[in-house]
A and B are shown apart, each in its own frame.
Chain A
């Protein structure tokens, strides 16, 4: 298997997860990287991606696993045949599938446009209840791991996987409380077993 890290920028952040899967599969077909297929009547290529960030959130830290026997220049070929916003940043061979959808437990983001506030104020809260996209009240405080300012950019780390918190939801909460408008959110790092 080949584990690879890739971007989702330059317009690719607006793709749905299914469309992104299709693009990566087609990139590999064009590049001649043959994916193994599942067994069964409707065989499908064995490609595994981490949980997607929300549509509109850019990323330079996405991870995927391709079940393939390919042993050539994966990064070079992938990038030669991929759309401009989906670029491979690195790849490594693995005996097992790290299952990034589960193994990534936290992600760090940078956001621009949120009005300045005291990060300790947020981290000092015991509970932060927001309404999620399904209309449910949700205490997001346990899923906020770090918040700090780097000049006028907000750097924050949120739970992923089973403790996932959407970066855009968090930014909406911050902007609703402190003002501003998150113009651009980029996932800059993923934390968890198997990431590189």
Chain B
């Protein structure tokens, strides 16, 4: 199945994965190969079947809405790449005058 350059660019942006110019065409070929595999499903007659939601068709158990987790802010922030005053630091998101 053919994938246009524009489509691939769009997908890589949706997935937020930068792809270097030089690996673009080989990636496209690999993805096309995999997408071709999907065409085998066209032959299957699924007109009278419901899409599966859980393999055992059991209802999912719910639990009481009780707070069980303690505040772990400092513990959780330990893994963050950049932190200041208990906040995650990222490059400026909103443009405009400060």
B is bound to A: no
The residues of A with any CB-CB pair to B shorter than 8 Å are none
The residues of B with any CB-CB pair to A shorter than 8 Å are none
